[in-house]
Structure 1
Amino acid sequence: MYSRHFVIVALVFLQIVDFIQGEWNTKDFMKREHSLVRPYQTAGLQIPYWDFGGNTMVTNEYIRITPDKQSMSGSLWNSVPVKAKNWELQVQFKVHGKSGNLFGDGFAIWYAKDRMEDGPIFGSKNLFHGLAIILDTYSNHNAAHNHQHPYISAMVNNGTLNYDHDMDGTHTQLAGCEAKFRNLDHDTHVSIRYEKDTITVMTDFDNKAAWKMCFTVPGVKLPTGYHFGISAKTGQLSDNHDIHSIRLFELDLPDDVQNQEDRSQIVPSATFFESPRDHVDDPKPSSLGGFKLFLLMLIGALAILACVVIGIMFYQQQQQTRKRLY
């Protein structure tokens, strides 16, 4: 009798698990006009529903937003405004390069009002309207933070907040997590889920086909009618920033009161921000050139050597004087 009850409980549990997984894995509601999978191109090198600019290059296997070269900038933007109030965006990507300890700068995934506008924030405009999920690979060691890079963070902007690169954006971020996604041999994925005014970011960097929590932030209001996009930028440091696929799922939430609400005109907002951190100025660069600095170091070394020789000679002279006295 107990074994029968155990079987019934187990079956009910499995049904609940299947139901939960069915809600999370929303492939039945994938929106093709907001998704991008291989093959990307049609005749004339055009991508249906998508535009790209800057140094972006489309291949048969991936879309390279920036190559591993200095001073590159590129972007990829969906041309269809999003009408869904609840959605999940899954991006398969790869960030890789030849450099070892220093690399950059990373890329950003956008849900924004303005599209195809180049700018300083990972290849897109500052003072934007909407949501930015930033996958930052370059750490400014003078910024006041206590995390390692690469780092994933979220920012919501109503057009008035300035993203500060000198602080790695820490004074405007909603939340963040460390994420070691660079130079991996397997596929890397990030999921951005917007459900009932809550942003949830999850990752799959371990090649286990399972999501791992990065962070979740409640109290985020985003309007409908914005566009999805991805942009990247390199400076003195560089990486390849490759996009392999983008999939947008519309979430079916019958009990959500937002379904009856017109959200096309609301202003992006968030009720929670991480505590701001004090800014730390960059050290002033030396006014000495490389050759002048070398000469200065050489003169210093010769001066130290001369002092040592003089000291030895003085010591030997003192020893000889003592021997004559005895």
Structure 2
Amino acid sequence: MYCKMLNWANLLVFLQFINYISAEWNTRDYVRREHSLTKPYQGSGMSVPYWDFLGSTIVTSNYVRLTPDLQSKSGAIWNTVPCYTRNWELQVQFKVHGHGKDLFGDGFAIWYVRDRMQPGEVFGSKDFFHGLAIVLDTYSNHNGAHNHQHPYISAMISNGSLHYDHDRDGTHTQVAGCEAKFRNYNHDTHLSIIYKDDTLVVSTDLDGKNAWKECFKVENVLLPTGYYFGASATTGDLSDIHDIISMRMYELDLLESQNKDEDRSQIVPSAASFEAPRERTEDSKPAMSGVKTFLWMMCVAIVIIVLVVLGIMWYQKRQETSRKRLY
């Protein structure tokens, strides 16, 4: 009797294990190791399999640091293997932190683009890119009038002809975005980027609850196969630490409606909901604070007093000269 109960218990544990594996498989499909970055990072020597590094990037046992908390730094990591998977999910575990409480920046970006290892002005990577950029902008000193707060997550899809306007936080070329307070947490934060059936879905887990919260969803997005994953970050006059803990790429199954034999390598990156860049307008000048107004008025008063004194002195000297001529 005891043996039967033990066998049934073992069978139950086995079935639960199978169900767990099936559930994990159904929710994440399977990891593509050649497109993933996980601990331990080092391979032979200082190299990391399937990944290259640029700029200020350093590799430790716990994280890949794109930038330190110093001004004017830029770093990047790039996958060495092009992705030929049509449906995929990229989960990024990251941490952005620094000493700044009110002023910090600039931010980082996750890339799926044609050209890798190309440094530039868009959060450490090149402008006029081909592909997808998910921008996590932390720059707290707004570069213009916006209807959102920072930090901010946005998506930009470019065919190589679009310019990321850093002075306007890229709002003129983004396809979607959402506010996301992902900075200075004691726990790691997560980002999910899903591209499936020509639909882009970006979600976050910022509270450490192992639950995704949708940031935005964009349909009718065309991205070709054969592009590269990467991440880059930059600091300017303001700074922050930008750490990548892991990047896991999951291959998702094709839907029945998708043609598995379709050649997607020559598709031009685009999004049906993309709005053409709006005409750039200059920001209105901010009103001066009370202290600045007082100092400005005091300077004007001093200048006026100096001019009056000089005028009186000049007039008195002229009068004195006139009297000397009379005598």
Tell me which interval the TM-score lies in, with the shorter structure as reference length.
Answer: 0.7 to 0.9
Q: Matched residues in 1 for 2:158 and 2:258: separation?
A: 24
Aligned length: 281
Q: Deviations over 1:135-174 (max 9, x none)?
A: 0001453423200000000000000000001111001000
Q: Look up the match of 2:316.
A: none
Q: Matched residues in 2 for 1:271 and 1:131: separation?
A: 14
TM-score, structure 2 length as denominator? 0.79
Q: Look up the match of 2:260.
A: 259
AA aligned opposite 1:116: M
Q: Look up the match of 2:6.
A: none
Q: Is the counterpart of residue 146 in structure 1 residue 129 in structure 2?
A: no
Q: Look up the match of 1:192.
A: 193
Q: Look up the match of 1:75.
A: 76
Q: Look up the match of 1:250.
A: 251
Q: Look up the match of 2:321.
A: none
Q: Look up the match of 2:121.
A: 120
- Give the superposed CA RMSD: 2.8
**Which of the numbers 25, 33, 58 marks the counterpart of 2:27?**
25
AA aligned opposite 2:102: N
Q: Matched residues in 2 for 1:253 and 1:240: separation?
A: 38
Gaps of 5+ in 2: 1-19, 287-292, 305-327
Contact 1:202 1:211 in 2 (8 A): yes
Q: Matched residues in 2 for 1:255 and 1:226: separation?
A: 24
Give SS of 1:192's match. strand
Deviation of the 1:44 alpha carbon: 1.7
Give SS of 1:25's match. helix
Contact 1:71 1:234 in 2 (8 A): yes
AA aligned opposite 2:27: N
AA aligned opposite 1:126: D
Q: Matched residues in 1 for 2:200 and 2:161: separation?
A: 21
Contact 1:143 1:279 in 2 (8 A): no
Contact 1:140 1:167 in 2 (8 A): no
Deviation of the 1:259 alpha carbon: 1.8
Aligned pair in 2 of structure 1 residues 195, 144: CA closer, same or farther (>3 Å)? same
Q: Matched residues in 1 for 2:234 and 2:31: separation?
A: 29
Q: Look up the match of 1:103.
A: 104
Q: Deviations over 1:183-215 (max 9, x none)?
A: 011110000000000000000001110000100
Give SS of 1:257's match. coil
Give SS of 1:33's match. helix
Q: Matched residues in 1 for 2:34 and 2:215: separation?
A: 27
Q: Look up the match of 2:43.
A: 42
Deviation of the 1:253 alpha carbon: 2.2
Q: Identity rate of aligned residues, in percent?
A: 63
Q: Matched residues in 2 for 1:117 and 1:258: separation?
A: 33
Contact 1:145 1:277 in 2 (8 A): no
Contact 1:127 1:159 in 2 (8 A): yes
Aligned pair in 2 of structure 1 residues 276, 127: CA closer, same or farther (>3 Å)? closer
Q: Matched residues in 1 for 2:163 and 2:191: separation?
A: 25
Give SS of 1:174's match. strand
Q: Matched residues in 1 for 2:123 and 2:258: separation?
A: 35
Aligned pair in 2 of structure 1 residues 72, 250: CA closer, same or farther (>3 Å)? same
Q: Matched residues in 2 for 1:24 and 1:162: separation?
A: 39
TM-score, structure 1 length as denominator? 0.79
AA aligned opposite 2:47: Q
Q: Matched residues in 2 for 1:153 and 1:250: separation?
A: 23
Deviation of the 1:106 alpha carbon: 0.4
Mapping 1:244-323, distance limit 5 Å: 244-273=245-274, 279-281=280-282
Contact 1:110 1:131 in 2 (8 A): yes
Q: Look up the match of 1:129.
A: 130
